[in-house]
Protein backbone atom coordinates (compact mmCIF):
# COMPACT_ATOMS: atom_id res chain seq x y z
CA UNK A 1 0.00 0.00 0.00
CA UNK A 2 1.33 3.43 -0.94
CA UNK A 3 2.24 5.75 1.93
CA UNK A 4 -0.13 8.69 2.60
CA UNK A 5 0.94 12.21 1.64
CA UNK A 6 2.14 14.47 4.41
CA UNK A 7 0.91 18.02 4.93
CA UNK A 8 2.20 20.97 2.95
CA UNK A 9 5.32 22.56 4.39
CA UNK A 10 5.73 25.34 1.79
CA UNK A 11 2.72 26.57 -0.20
CA UNK A 12 3.64 28.68 -3.24
CA UNK A 13 0.72 27.68 -5.44
CA UNK A 14 -0.71 30.58 -7.44
CA UNK A 15 2.35 32.73 -6.72
CA UNK A 16 3.29 35.42 -9.28
CA UNK A 17 6.96 36.47 -9.39
CA UNK A 18 8.26 38.93 -11.99
CA UNK A 19 11.89 38.17 -11.15
CA UNK A 20 13.47 35.05 -9.67
CA UNK A 21 12.07 32.47 -7.28
CA UNK A 22 15.12 31.19 -5.40
CA UNK A 23 14.71 27.99 -3.40
CA UNK A 24 18.37 26.92 -3.45
CA UNK A 25 21.71 28.76 -3.44
CA UNK A 26 22.64 30.12 -6.86
CA UNK A 27 26.38 29.91 -6.18
CA UNK A 28 26.99 27.34 -3.40
CA UNK A 29 29.99 28.08 -1.26
CA UNK A 30 32.77 25.51 -1.30
CA UNK A 31 31.24 22.36 -2.71
CA UNK A 32 29.42 22.76 -6.04
CA UNK A 33 26.56 20.55 -4.87
CA UNK A 34 23.74 22.76 -3.56
CA UNK A 35 22.43 19.93 -1.42
CA UNK A 36 25.54 20.16 0.77
CA UNK A 37 25.19 23.85 1.56
CA UNK A 38 24.00 23.84 5.18
CA UNK A 39 22.98 27.50 5.05
CA UNK A 40 19.71 26.53 3.41
CA UNK A 41 16.86 24.93 5.35
CA UNK A 42 15.45 21.50 4.58
CA UNK A 43 11.79 21.30 3.56
CA UNK A 44 10.13 18.72 5.79
CA UNK A 45 6.80 18.35 4.08
CA UNK A 46 5.17 18.70 0.69
CA UNK A 47 5.96 21.58 -1.66
CA UNK A 48 3.11 23.33 -3.51
CA UNK A 49 4.05 25.02 -6.82
CA UNK A 50 0.86 24.33 -8.80
CA UNK A 51 -0.34 27.35 -10.77
CA UNK A 52 2.66 29.51 -9.84
CA UNK A 53 4.29 31.74 -12.47
CA UNK A 54 7.89 32.96 -12.23
CA UNK A 55 10.46 34.33 -14.66
CA UNK A 56 13.50 32.46 -13.37
CA UNK A 57 13.39 29.42 -11.15
CA UNK A 58 16.39 28.49 -9.01
CA UNK A 59 16.20 25.14 -7.26
CA UNK A 60 18.30 22.11 -6.50
CA UNK A 61 18.23 18.94 -4.44
CA UNK A 62 18.20 21.06 -1.26
CA UNK A 63 15.00 22.75 -2.43
CA UNK A 64 13.16 19.45 -2.78
CA UNK A 65 11.35 18.03 0.22
CA UNK A 66 12.74 14.95 1.88
CA UNK A 67 11.04 11.97 0.29
CA UNK A 68 9.79 10.52 3.58
CA UNK A 69 8.71 12.36 6.70
CA UNK A 70 7.98 10.67 10.00
CA UNK A 71 4.56 11.69 11.29
CA UNK A 72 3.47 12.34 14.84
CA UNK A 73 2.32 8.73 15.23
CA UNK A 74 5.63 7.41 13.93
CA UNK A 75 4.28 6.44 10.51
CA UNK A 76 6.23 7.48 7.43
CA UNK A 77 4.53 9.91 5.06
CA UNK A 78 5.39 10.83 1.47
CA UNK A 79 6.42 14.39 0.68
CA UNK A 80 5.41 15.41 -2.85
CA UNK A 81 5.92 18.36 -5.18
CA UNK A 82 2.84 19.60 -7.03
CA UNK A 83 3.85 21.06 -10.41
CA UNK A 84 0.69 21.09 -12.53
CA UNK A 85 0.31 24.58 -13.99
CA UNK A 86 3.72 25.75 -12.71
CA UNK A 87 5.15 28.06 -15.40
CA UNK A 88 8.72 29.39 -15.56
CA UNK A 89 10.81 30.94 -18.35
CA UNK A 90 14.23 29.55 -17.47
CA UNK A 91 16.34 27.95 -14.76
CA UNK A 92 19.01 29.74 -12.78
CA UNK A 93 21.90 28.72 -10.59
CA UNK A 94 23.55 25.35 -10.89
CA UNK A 95 22.15 23.40 -13.82
CA UNK A 96 20.73 19.93 -13.23
CA UNK A 97 20.96 16.96 -15.57
CA UNK A 98 18.00 15.56 -17.48
CA UNK A 99 17.96 12.56 -15.13
CA UNK A 100 17.75 14.88 -12.11
CA UNK A 101 14.94 16.88 -13.70
CA UNK A 102 13.01 13.69 -14.48
CA UNK A 103 13.44 12.65 -10.85
CA UNK A 104 12.04 16.06 -9.89
CA UNK A 105 8.96 15.49 -12.06
CA UNK A 106 8.47 12.01 -10.61
CA UNK A 107 8.13 13.57 -7.14
CA UNK A 108 4.61 14.71 -8.09
CA UNK A 109 1.62 13.10 -6.36
CA UNK A 110 1.13 9.51 -7.44
CA UNK A 111 -2.37 10.21 -8.72
CA UNK A 112 -1.06 12.92 -11.08
CA UNK A 113 1.40 10.43 -12.57
CA UNK A 114 -1.04 7.53 -12.89
CA UNK A 115 -4.81 7.89 -12.50
CA UNK A 116 -4.97 11.51 -13.73
CA UNK A 117 -1.76 11.97 -15.71
CA UNK A 118 -0.81 15.63 -15.99
CA UNK A 119 1.27 16.35 -19.12
CA UNK A 120 1.86 20.05 -18.40
CA UNK A 121 4.86 19.70 -16.04
CA UNK A 122 6.66 17.56 -18.62
CA UNK A 123 5.83 19.83 -21.55
CA UNK A 124 6.85 22.93 -19.60
CA UNK A 125 10.23 21.42 -18.76
CA UNK A 126 10.81 20.30 -22.37
CA UNK A 127 9.92 23.80 -23.64
CA UNK A 128 12.26 25.59 -21.22
CA UNK A 129 15.18 23.24 -21.84
CA UNK A 130 14.87 23.75 -25.60
CA UNK A 131 14.67 27.52 -25.26
CA UNK A 132 17.80 27.43 -23.08
CA UNK A 133 19.65 25.44 -25.74
CA UNK A 134 19.73 22.10 -23.91
CA UNK A 135 18.32 20.08 -26.81
CA UNK A 136 19.73 16.72 -25.68
CA UNK A 137 18.25 17.13 -22.20
CA UNK A 138 14.91 18.11 -23.74
CA UNK A 139 14.92 14.95 -25.87
CA UNK A 140 15.68 12.79 -22.83
CA UNK A 141 12.79 14.34 -20.88
CA UNK A 142 10.47 13.92 -23.90
CA UNK A 143 11.27 10.20 -24.07
CA UNK A 144 10.71 9.85 -20.32
CA UNK A 145 7.36 11.60 -20.68
CA UNK A 146 6.26 8.98 -23.22
CA UNK A 147 7.26 6.23 -20.79
CA UNK A 148 5.45 7.88 -17.87
CA UNK A 149 2.28 8.31 -19.93
CA UNK A 150 2.49 4.68 -21.07
CA UNK A 151 2.82 3.51 -17.44
CA UNK A 152 -0.22 5.62 -16.54
CA UNK A 153 -2.29 4.03 -19.31
CA UNK A 154 -1.13 0.55 -18.29
CA UNK A 155 -2.41 1.10 -14.76
CA UNK A 156 -5.60 2.77 -16.00
CA UNK A 157 -6.55 -0.29 -18.06
CA UNK A 158 -6.01 -2.55 -15.05
CA UNK A 159 -8.01 -0.33 -12.70
CA UNK A 160 -10.88 -0.12 -15.20
CA UNK A 161 -10.95 -3.91 -15.44
CA UNK A 162 -11.09 -4.31 -11.64
CA UNK A 163 -13.71 -1.56 -11.32
CA UNK A 164 -16.07 -3.44 -13.65
CA UNK A 165 -15.77 -6.56 -11.50
CA UNK A 166 -17.24 -4.65 -8.54
CA UNK A 167 -20.63 -4.72 -10.28
CA UNK A 168 -22.70 -7.77 -11.05
CA UNK A 169 -22.86 -6.90 -14.75
CA UNK A 170 -19.07 -6.81 -14.83
CA UNK A 171 -18.97 -10.57 -14.35
CA UNK A 172 -21.35 -11.03 -17.28
CA UNK A 173 -18.98 -9.25 -19.65
CA UNK A 174 -15.84 -10.68 -18.00
CA UNK A 175 -14.60 -12.53 -21.13
CA UNK A 176 -14.93 -9.39 -23.26
CA UNK A 177 -13.31 -7.22 -20.57
CA UNK A 178 -10.42 -9.66 -20.24
CA UNK A 179 -9.85 -9.74 -24.00
CA UNK A 180 -9.96 -5.93 -24.14
CA UNK A 181 -7.47 -5.71 -21.25
CA UNK A 182 -5.03 -8.13 -22.88
CA UNK A 183 -5.25 -6.38 -26.25
CA UNK A 184 -4.77 -2.98 -24.59
CA UNK A 185 -1.70 -4.16 -22.72
CA UNK A 186 -0.39 -5.81 -25.90
CA UNK A 187 -0.78 -2.49 -27.71
CA UNK A 188 1.25 -0.71 -25.02
CA UNK A 189 3.94 -3.39 -25.24
CA UNK A 190 4.12 -2.88 -29.00
CA UNK A 191 4.39 0.87 -28.47
CA UNK A 192 7.25 0.30 -26.05
CA UNK A 193 8.99 -2.08 -28.46
CA UNK A 194 8.66 0.02 -31.61
CA UNK A 195 8.66 3.58 -30.30
CA UNK A 196 10.98 3.25 -27.32
CA UNK A 197 13.31 0.33 -28.02
CA UNK A 198 13.49 0.46 -31.82
CA UNK A 199 13.12 4.18 -32.48
CA UNK A 200 14.18 5.83 -29.23
CA UNK A 201 11.00 7.87 -29.00
CA UNK A 202 11.52 9.09 -32.56
CA UNK A 203 14.89 10.70 -31.82
CA UNK A 204 17.26 7.79 -32.51
CA UNK A 205 17.93 8.50 -36.18
CA UNK A 206 20.76 5.98 -36.51
CA UNK A 207 18.94 3.17 -34.67
CA UNK A 208 16.71 2.12 -37.62
CA UNK A 209 19.83 1.81 -39.79
CA UNK A 210 21.49 -0.34 -37.16
CA UNK A 211 18.38 -2.52 -36.95
CA UNK A 212 18.40 -2.85 -40.73
CA UNK A 213 22.05 -3.95 -40.62
CA UNK A 214 21.43 -6.44 -37.79
CA UNK A 215 18.48 -7.96 -39.66
CA UNK A 216 20.42 -8.07 -42.93
CA UNK A 217 23.65 -9.64 -41.66
CA UNK A 218 21.97 -11.84 -39.02
CA UNK A 219 19.71 -13.48 -41.60
CA UNK A 220 22.60 -13.74 -44.08
CA UNK A 221 24.58 -15.67 -41.47
CA UNK A 222 21.67 -18.06 -40.96
CA UNK A 223 21.22 -18.52 -44.71
CA UNK A 224 24.90 -19.41 -44.96
CA UNK A 225 24.41 -22.19 -42.37
CA UNK A 226 21.15 -23.34 -43.96
CA UNK A 227 22.44 -23.44 -47.55
CA UNK A 228 25.36 -25.66 -46.58
CA UNK A 229 22.86 -28.25 -45.28
CA UNK A 230 20.33 -28.12 -48.10
CA UNK A 231 18.08 -25.57 -46.40
CA UNK A 232 17.89 -23.56 -49.63
CA UNK A 233 17.51 -25.00 -53.12
CA UNK A 234 16.77 -23.76 -56.64
CA UNK A 235 13.15 -22.74 -57.07
CA UNK A 236 13.18 -23.98 -60.68
CA UNK A 237 11.99 -27.62 -60.51
CA UNK A 238 13.63 -28.42 -63.84
CA UNK A 239 16.99 -27.32 -62.48
CA UNK A 240 16.38 -28.97 -59.09
CA UNK A 241 15.48 -32.33 -60.62
CA UNK A 242 18.15 -32.31 -63.33
CA UNK A 243 20.41 -35.29 -62.70
CA UNK A 244 23.44 -33.65 -64.30
CA UNK A 245 23.10 -30.50 -62.22
CA UNK A 246 22.61 -32.49 -59.00
CA UNK A 247 25.64 -34.62 -59.78
CA UNK A 248 27.68 -31.53 -60.62
CA UNK A 249 26.79 -29.80 -57.35
CA UNK A 250 27.32 -32.93 -55.28
CA UNK A 251 30.63 -33.63 -57.00
CA UNK A 252 29.69 -37.25 -57.73
CA UNK A 253 29.42 -39.28 -60.90
CA UNK A 254 25.86 -40.33 -60.10
CA UNK A 255 23.22 -37.83 -59.06
CA UNK A 256 22.08 -38.20 -55.41
CA UNK A 257 18.50 -39.15 -54.70
CA UNK A 258 15.95 -36.30 -54.64
CA UNK A 259 15.38 -36.87 -50.92
CA UNK A 260 19.08 -36.33 -50.14
CA UNK A 261 19.91 -32.67 -49.30
CA UNK A 262 22.61 -31.16 -51.50
CA UNK A 263 24.98 -28.36 -50.61
CA UNK A 264 23.86 -26.10 -53.46
CA UNK A 265 25.90 -23.30 -51.93
CA UNK A 266 29.26 -24.90 -52.79
CA UNK A 267 28.71 -26.61 -56.12
CA UNK A 268 31.79 -28.54 -57.16
CA UNK A 269 31.20 -27.93 -60.86
CA UNK A 270 28.93 -24.98 -61.48
CA UNK A 271 26.83 -25.24 -64.70
CA UNK A 272 26.79 -22.19 -66.94
CA UNK A 273 23.05 -21.63 -66.39
CA UNK A 274 23.35 -21.90 -62.63
CA UNK A 275 22.88 -18.67 -60.59
CA UNK A 276 25.01 -19.53 -57.57
CA UNK A 277 23.59 -18.84 -54.10
CA UNK A 278 25.03 -15.82 -52.28
CA UNK A 279 23.74 -15.46 -48.67
CA UNK A 280 24.25 -11.69 -48.31
CA UNK A 281 22.66 -10.87 -51.68
CA UNK A 282 19.76 -13.25 -50.93
CA UNK A 283 19.23 -11.53 -47.55
CA UNK A 284 19.35 -8.09 -49.16
CA UNK A 285 16.94 -9.25 -51.86
CA UNK A 286 14.46 -10.18 -49.11
CA UNK A 287 14.61 -6.67 -47.62
CA UNK A 288 14.57 -4.34 -50.62
CA UNK A 289 11.08 -3.92 -52.13
CA UNK A 290 10.53 -3.25 -55.83
CA UNK A 291 14.14 -4.16 -56.69
CA UNK A 292 15.13 -7.68 -57.73
CA UNK A 293 18.73 -8.78 -57.31
CA UNK A 294 18.18 -12.15 -58.95
CA UNK A 295 18.36 -14.32 -55.82
CA UNK A 296 14.92 -14.34 -54.20
CA UNK A 297 13.16 -15.71 -57.28
CA UNK A 298 15.89 -18.26 -58.10
CA UNK A 299 16.27 -19.74 -54.60
CA UNK A 300 13.69 -20.89 -52.06
CA UNK A 301 13.63 -22.32 -48.56
CA UNK A 302 13.21 -26.07 -48.11
CA UNK A 303 11.79 -28.13 -45.26
CA UNK A 304 15.12 -29.44 -44.05
CA UNK A 305 16.37 -29.67 -40.48
CA UNK A 306 19.31 -27.37 -39.83
CA UNK A 307 22.01 -28.24 -37.31
CA UNK A 308 23.94 -25.33 -35.80
CA UNK A 309 26.59 -25.11 -33.11
CA UNK A 310 26.26 -21.68 -31.47
CA UNK A 311 29.50 -20.53 -29.87
CA UNK A 312 30.69 -24.08 -29.25
CA UNK A 313 27.76 -24.86 -26.92
CA UNK A 314 26.89 -28.11 -28.66
CA UNK A 315 24.88 -28.99 -31.73
CA UNK A 316 21.30 -27.67 -31.86
CA UNK A 317 18.94 -29.09 -34.48
CA UNK A 318 16.35 -26.61 -35.71
CA UNK A 319 12.93 -27.76 -37.00
CA UNK A 320 12.49 -28.36 -40.72
CA UNK A 321 10.29 -25.26 -41.13
CA UNK A 322 12.83 -22.86 -39.58
CA UNK A 323 14.29 -21.55 -42.85
CA UNK A 324 10.86 -20.72 -44.25
CA UNK A 325 9.90 -18.88 -41.05
CA UNK A 326 13.16 -16.90 -41.14
CA UNK A 327 12.49 -15.72 -44.71
CA UNK A 328 8.91 -14.75 -43.87
CA UNK A 329 9.95 -12.98 -40.67
CA UNK A 330 12.71 -11.05 -42.46
CA UNK A 331 10.30 -9.82 -45.11
CA UNK A 332 7.67 -8.78 -42.56
CA UNK A 333 10.25 -7.25 -40.21
CA UNK A 334 11.85 -5.15 -42.93
CA UNK A 335 8.42 -3.94 -44.12
CA UNK A 336 7.51 -2.87 -40.57
CA UNK A 337 10.83 -1.09 -40.28
CA UNK A 338 10.13 0.83 -43.50
CA UNK A 339 6.64 1.74 -42.28
CA UNK A 340 8.01 3.07 -38.97
CA UNK A 341 10.64 5.17 -40.72
CA UNK A 342 8.01 6.53 -43.12
CA UNK A 343 5.68 7.29 -40.18
CA UNK A 344 8.39 9.34 -38.47
CA UNK A 345 9.38 11.20 -41.64
CA UNK A 346 5.72 11.83 -42.50
CA UNK A 347 4.89 13.11 -39.03
CA UNK A 348 2.46 10.29 -38.20
CA UNK A 349 4.64 9.40 -35.18
CA UNK A 350 5.10 12.80 -33.58
CA UNK A 351 8.00 13.61 -31.33
CA UNK A 352 7.50 15.66 -28.19
Q: What is the mean pLDDT of residues 102-106?
A: 93
In a domain, 242, yes or no: yes
Same domain, 76 and 103: yes
In this prediction, residue 168 carries a pLDDT of 86
Domain span at residue 235 reads: 208-345
CA atoms in the 13 A half-sphere facing the CB of 45: 8
Q: How confident is the model at residue 1 (pLDDT cuts 50, 70, 90)?
A: low
**Which of 203, 225, 247 corresponds to the end of one domain?**
203
In this prediction, residue 83 carries a pLDDT of 94
Same domain, 264 and 178: no
In a domain, 289, yes or no: yes
Q: How confident is the model at residue 32 (pLDDT cuts 50, 70, 90)?
A: very low
Same domain, 188 and 212: no
Same domain, 231 and 186: no
In a domain, 192, yes or no: yes
Written in H, E and C, the secondary structure of the chain is: CCCCECCEEEECCCCEEEEEEECCCCCCCCCCCHHHCCCCCCCCCEEECCCCEEEEEECCHHHCCCCEEECCCCCEEECCEECCCCEEEEECCCCCCHHHHHHHHCCCCHHHHCCCCCCHHHHHHHHHHHHCCCHHHHHHHHHHHHHHHHHHHHHHHHHHHHHHCCCHHHHHCHHHHHHHHHHHHHHHHHHHHHHHHHCHHHCCCCHHHHHHHHHHHHHHHHHHHHHHCCCEEECCHHHHHCHHHHHHHHCCCCCCCCCCCCCHHHCCCCCCCCCCCCHHHHHHHHHCCCCCCCCCCCEEECCCCEEECHHHCCCEEECCCHHHHHHHHHHHHHHHHHHHHHHHHCCCCCCC
In a domain, 1, yes or no: no
Averaged pLDDT score across all residues of the chain? 81
Return the minimum-mean-pLDDT range out of 38-42, 83-87, 156-160, 253-257: 38-42
Query: Does the predicted model carry a pTM greater than 0.75?
Result: no
Return the minimum-mean-pLDDT range out of 34-38, 169-173, 186-190: 34-38
Same domain, 195 and 213: no
| 259 pLDDT above the threshold of 80 | no
In this prediction, residue 96 carries a pLDDT of 86
In a domain, 70, yes or no: yes
Return the minimum-mean-pLDDT range out of 116-125, 161-170, 205-214: 205-214
Q: Tens digit of pLDDT for each residue in 160-176?
A: 888 888 888 888 888 89
Return the minimum-mean-pLDDT range out of 185-199, 251-265, 299-313: 251-265
| 258 pLDDT above the threshold of 70 | no
Same domain, 181 and 223: no
For the chain, the domain total comes to: 2
Same domain, 50 and 79: yes
Return the minimum-mean-pLDDT range out of 9-18, 177-186, 254-263, 267-276: 267-276
Same domain, 66 and 174: yes
Q: How confident is the model at residue 37 (pLDDT cuts 50, 70, 90)?
A: low
In a domain, 36, yes or no: yes
**Which of 155, 183, 203 corresponds to the end of one domain?**
203
Return the minimum-mean-pLDDT range out of 117-121, 130-134, 218-222, 275-279: 275-279
In a domain, 50, yes or no: yes
| 287 pLDDT above the threshold of 70 | yes
**Which of 203, 222, 251 corresponds to the end of one domain?**
203
In this prediction, residue 312 carries a pLDDT of 65
Same domain, 212 and 283: yes
Q: How confident is the model at residue 202 (pLDDT cuts 50, 70, 90)?
A: low
Same domain, 214 and 246: yes
Q: How confident is the model at residue 5 (pLDDT cuts 50, 70, 90)?
A: confident
Same domain, 59 and 185: yes
Q: How confident is the model at residue 31 (pLDDT cuts 50, 70, 90)?
A: very low
In a domain, 350, yes or no: no
In this prediction, residue 35 carries a pLDDT of 47
Same domain, 235 and 176: no
Amino acid sequence: MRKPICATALALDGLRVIGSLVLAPMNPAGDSDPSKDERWPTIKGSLELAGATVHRFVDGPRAWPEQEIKGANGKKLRAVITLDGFCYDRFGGQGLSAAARCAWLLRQPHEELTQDFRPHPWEQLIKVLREMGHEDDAKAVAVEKQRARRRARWGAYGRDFIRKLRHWWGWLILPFSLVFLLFSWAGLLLQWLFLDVLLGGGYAKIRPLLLFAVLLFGCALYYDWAARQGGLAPSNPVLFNNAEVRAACAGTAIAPDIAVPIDWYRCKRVPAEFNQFRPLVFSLDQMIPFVQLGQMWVWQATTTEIAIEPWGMGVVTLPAWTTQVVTWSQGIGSMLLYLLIAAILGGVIKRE
